[in-house]
Structure 1
Amino acid sequence: MDFEAAKDICRSLPGCTEDTKWDNDTVFSVGARMFAVTSKDLPAQGFSFKVDDERFLELTDRPGIIPAPYLARAKWVHVTPEARLDDDELAALLRRSYELVFARLTRKLQREITG
């Protein structure tokens, strides 16, 4: 699983912004709402993102995927290098996280992002 490639997937999503928060984290947002977080370290050693409520327990039962610190109550997971996720599955999870956050934006903001 290539966390650096995962950053590129986040960057490719419509309206995605990237900034640094908490001194050491790279945060990917849409409409000023976070959908993924990773460390600024190179190479990245993990990724946190939102998942569907019904997938949270399933994913956190897998080795290398834990409830995200501080964000687990909002159904965020943290994927470590030990996780058995291939690049396609990680990409799909990141896209889904984006979709979950995007869906909570106002219709007006959604239209501005999608043009």
Structure 2
Amino acid sequence: MTIDLIREICLLLPAVTEDIKWETHLCFNVGGKMFLITSPDEVPVNATFKVPEESFEELLDRDGFKIASHLGRYHWIEVTDISKLSAKEWRFFINQSYKLVLDKLPVKARKSLGV
């Protein structure tokens, strides 16, 4: 998996924007809220995303998954090397994180985004 493929998956989702935060992190957002943070300049490239509370502990048992610093208390997971996941897994986790963040947006914000 590459950062370009992850980017393509993200940009297929409705109302997604991307930006650079903290000088080196490529972030994907919906309604101004992040749902995926990547570190394309790090070796290996890593990524952080939101997961459901009920999956959080279970995912931490997987090789290459750890609690995301600063965001772990909100059930964000870091994948230490994006190549550890297949494209199918990335689609799943990206879509899941997107939906979790989107669902927390106010109804008015979701309507203005058309989602």
Normalised TM-score (structure 2)? 0.89
Q: How many residues align?
A: 115
Given that 1:35 and 1:50 are in contact with CA atoms closer than 8 Å, whether structure 2 keeps it comes out as yes
Given that 1:38 and 1:47 are in contact with CA atoms closer than 8 Å, whether structure 2 keeps it comes out as yes
Given that 1:67 and 1:76 are in contact with CA atoms closer than 8 Å, whether structure 2 keeps it comes out as yes
Structure 1 residues 16-95: aligned runs within 5 Å: 16-41=16-41, 45-81=45-81, 84-95=84-95
What is the DSSP-based 3-state SS (H/G/I as helix, E as strand, rest coil) of the residue aligned with 1:101? helix
Deviation at 1:44, TM superposition (A): 7.0
Which blocks of at least 5 consecutive residues in structure 1 are unaligned? none
Distance of aligned partners of 1:82 and 1:33 in 2 relative to their CA distance in 1, 3 Å threshold? closer
Distance of aligned partners of 1:82 and 1:49 in 2 relative to their CA distance in 1, 3 Å threshold? closer
Segment of structure 1 superposing worse, 69-78 or 33-42: 33-42
Deviation at 1:90, TM superposition (A): 1.6
State, as a whole percentage, how many aligned pairs show the same letter.
37
| CA distance in structure 1 between the aligned counterparts of 2:85 and 2:77, rounded to whole angstroms | 13
| CA distance in structure 1 between the aligned counterparts of 2:100 and 2:59, rounded to whole angstroms | 16
Given that 2:46 and 2:82 are in contact with CA atoms closer than 8 Å, whether structure 1 keeps it comes out as no
Distance of aligned partners of 1:44 and 1:91 in 2 relative to their CA distance in 1, 3 Å threshold? farther
CA RMSD of aligned residues (A): 2.0
| CA distance in structure 2 between the aligned counterparts of 1:82 and 1:99, rounded to whole angstroms | 20
What stretches of structure 1 move > 4 A for 4+ residues in a row? none
Deviation at 1:45, TM superposition (A): 0.5
